[in-house]
Amino acid sequence: MFSKDDYKEYFQQIAGVERLMIYNVQDLLILLDDQELKYTLRNVASDESRHYGYIKEIFDSILFQDEAEKRRFIRIHSLGRVKIKIKGKDGFIEAYCVNISPGGICIESNQKINPQDTLELWVDFFNGREPGHHFGTLLWRAEIGADLQIESIRYQAGVRFNA
């Protein structure tokens, strides 16, 4: 018999795969000129977003129903691209938004950012939500386990927005 933790781990893996599918389709849409193919891929992206929504619903209503949200702000699961500038360093880091709140953002990336780095972030949401421009500090970074590492995603990190 599976424990609640077994189910959580299983659905976290599925959520990671669904996010990667969404990221890949969205990245491909930028590169294509063929409108017919773009139309089909937008439908694929819509399906993957719906699948990810089902997984989030399982987390929120079944697996975590007894666990209260301990953050000051409620997170909104809104996927998108994030361009990051680290203060004092040249160039940009590309990442993806997993969720966002008025207090911060959770990102995923293949590039390593160090805790306490000061960041400037530009967020472009896949769902058409108004883009955001934020300043913040990286609070934590976790390497995604080898079994969960999927292609371009190696790290998940939390950024607290500056007041």
- 0.95 exceeded by pTM: no
Decide which of 2.30.30.280, 2.40.10.220, 3.40.630.30, 3.30.540.10 is the CATH code for 80-161: 2.40.10.220
Q: What is the pLDDT of residues 4-22, one digit of tens each?
A: 788 888 888 888 888 888 9
- The rounded distance, in Å, linking the Cα atoms of 159 and 27 is 23
Span of 45-49, 72-76, 83-87, 145-149 with lowest mean pLDDT: 145-149
pLDDT in tens, 53-91: 888 888 777 656 555 556 677 888 889 999 999 999 999
pLDDT of amino acid 56: 83
Tens of pLDDT, residues 106-143:
999 989 899 999 999 999 999 889 999 999 999 999 88
Q: What are the distances in angstroms from CA 25 to CA 39, 42, 47, 72, 126?
A: 12, 8, 11, 33, 11
Q: Distance between CA 52 and CA 101 in Å, rounded?
A: 19
What pLDDT is recorded for position 123? 97
pLDDT value of residue 151: 60
